[in-house]
Amino acid sequence: MTATAERSWVGPSAPERLNILRNTKSIAIVGASDKPSRASYFVATYLLSSSPYKVYFVNPVAKEILGQPVYKSLADLPEVPDLVDVFRKHDDLPTVLDETLAVGAKTIWLQLGSWHEEVAAKAEAAGLNVVMDRCVKIEHARFHGGLHLAGFDTGVISSKRQLTA
């Protein structure tokens, strides 16, 4: 299946996603990047500064991200993460799922723009929570009143263009 195929899988509702996040103590970011321009870096920055989670970074080539050690694989982590947050290309998702199942994580979370029907079906059949095409940072912030931290909620509602200096 390609990323553009019709979507038939239905993900968890907002209360179910909130419950997943409430029951999560640790998150492994697979495909974490040390480049500030990458979404995974932005999410990592938020999670480290604004969430209660123990955050692990998984990347086979990076050594350190935001002052934290980076692990080559999920199997190398010092504990089993509750949630695996995936920033990898579509074709890599089945392998990431296999690694997630092998370590015993409870949830696989595919980031915004990431959708894989077969991965979702296999993960759910194995008893995992599955979230696709959503951002952990945005979901955590919306449930905890922090969307303003990233500039998403400025508190200003206006149809006028903002003047720039």
* Distances in whole angstroms, Cα of residue 6 to Cα of each of 11, 46, 70, 78, 124: 14, 32, 36, 38, 19
Residue 155 lies in a domain: no
Residue 18 lies in a domain: yes
- The number of distinct structural domains making up the chain is 1
How far is the C-alpha of 29 from the C-alpha of 44, rounded, in Å? Answer: 8
- pTM of the full predicted structure? 0.85
Range of the domain at 35: 14-150
Residue 159 lies in a domain: no
3-state secondary structure (DSSP) of residue 84: strand
Residue 4 lies in a domain: no
Residue 106 lies in a domain: yes
Residue 161 lies in a domain: no
**What pLDDT digit, counting tens, does each position of 33-91 carry?**
999 999 999 999 999 999 999 999 999 999 999 999 999 999 999 999 999 999 999 99
CATH number of the domain to which 34 belongs:
3.40.50.720
Q: Which residues contact 114 (CB under 8 A, 6 or more apart)?
A: 3, 86, 88, 90, 93, 132, 133
Q: What is the token pair recorded at 5?
A: 């195929």
**What pLDDT digit, counting tens, does each position of 15-31 carry?**
999 999 999 999 999 99
